[in-house]
């Protein structure tokens, strides 16, 4: 079984279908970008992976088990505007994230445990290039630095899966580019499996191994909300953007026996 397995998911809010027949297999270490029209259910899909919601129908498994419902260290999450705790220092934010698996409230570690947590926080801050501001408060950081802190918080529990919902949407183009480099390095270093929702196609193809497009395969102009969205394309972004299905079909064709009349004799 694949590392992340999504089987025939349906999700409705009341009578309104949002997602329908979503199935997906993702190997450990893959970077999956998710794009699609506003409101088509991309964030809903991430919430299902996070087990913040249960699907109306269908099953999800991560590493062979359903995603845990309580906050859990296997999955880290970063939203477009992450609320870091303004009253805590950068280091304090990371310690809180470790104590509460990312859902932090008030630090609980004391004595030796706190010192150990502080040492781990400093290691993560070093990795994301924020060691020099460990004692400062978030208000003193730039947008890119705050977003790096948010990613560092998600990483504090050493998650196997990182879920990013438009993580760079609020950043200026220059900061965005440096965050791309940062995320690529981090990924190479940790081998994490990443799901990233983005509205920027270029970013989706640049960072992703695969680019999933969520869209409505059925559309009723009289009743636009009658049907939900599903994965309509699964592009292999590793291969210069050749659609995943086309690449799979080409691979199959290569293994099929050649017919006699396919052979063109050299003149």
Ligand X SMILES: Nc1ncnc2c1ncn2[C@@H]1O[C@H](COP(=O)(O)OP(=O)(O)OP(=O)(O)O)[C@@H](O)[C@H]1O
Evaluated on CA atoms 215, 166, 121, 125, the torsion sign reads positive
Classify strands 230-236 and 57-62 as parallel, antiparallel or unpaired.
unpaired
Burial class of residue 254, CB neighbours in 10 A (0-12, 13-18, 19+): exposed
Alpha-carbon span 265 to 238, nearest angstrom? 35
Query: Distance from first CA to last CA of the chain, Å, rounded?
Result: 50
Contact call for residue 164 and ligand X (CB under 6 A): no
Contact call for residue 201 and ligand X (CB under 6 A): no
Name which position in 18, 133, 155, 212 contacts ligand X (CB under 6 A).
Answer: 18
Q: Tell me which stretch binds ligand X (CB under 6 A): 31-39, 101-109, 183-191, 238-246.
A: 31-39
Contact residues for 119 (Cβ-Cβ < 8 A; gap 6+)? none
Contact call for residue 179 and ligand X (CB under 6 A): no
Contact call for residue 66 and ligand X (CB under 6 A): no
Contact call for residue 216 and ligand X (CB under 6 A): no
Contact call for residue 224 and ligand X (CB under 6 A): no
Q: Tell me which stretch binds ligand X (CB under 6 A): 33-41, 65-73, 110-118, 183-191.
A: 33-41
- Matching residue, tokens 């408060």: 137
Contact call for residue 80 and ligand X (CB under 6 A): no
Question: What's the closest the beta carbon of residue 266 comes to ligand X, in angstroms?
Answer: 54
Binding footprint of ligand X on the chain (CB under 6 A): 13, 18, 36, 38-44
């Amino acid at each position: 079984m694949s590392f992340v397995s999504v089987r025939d998911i349906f999700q409705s809010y009341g009578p309104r279908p949002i997602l329908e027949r979503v199935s997906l297999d993702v190997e450990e270490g893959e970077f999956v970008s998710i794009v699609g029209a506003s409101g088509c259910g991309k964030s809903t899909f991430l919430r299902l992976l996070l087990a913040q919601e249960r699907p109306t129908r269908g099953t999800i498994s991560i590493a062979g088990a359903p995603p845990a419902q309580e906050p859990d260290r296997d999955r880290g999450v970063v939203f477009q505007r992450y609320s870091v705790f303004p009253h805590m220092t950068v280091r304090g934010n990371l310690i809180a994230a470790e104590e509460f698996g990312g859902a932090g409230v008030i630090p609980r570690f004391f004595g030796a445990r706190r010192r150990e947590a502080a040492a781990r926080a400093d290691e993560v801050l070093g990795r994301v290039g924020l060691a020099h501001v460990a004692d400062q408060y978030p208000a003193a950081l730039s947008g890119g630095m705050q977003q790096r802190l948010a990613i560092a918080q998600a990483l504090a529990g050493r998650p196997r899966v990182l879920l990013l919902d438009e993580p760079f949407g609020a950043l200026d183009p220059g900061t965005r580019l440096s965050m791309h480099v940062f995320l690529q390095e981090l990924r190479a270093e940790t081998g994490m499996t990443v799901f990233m929702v983005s509205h920027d196609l270029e970013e989706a193809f640049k960072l992703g191994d695969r680019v999933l497009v969520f869209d409505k395969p059925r559309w009723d102009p009289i009743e636009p909300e009658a049907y939900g969205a599903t994965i309509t394309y699964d592009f292999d972004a590793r291969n210069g953007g050749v659609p995943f299905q086309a690449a799979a079909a080409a691979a199959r064709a290569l293994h099929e026996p050649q017919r006699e009349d396919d052979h063109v004799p050299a003149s």
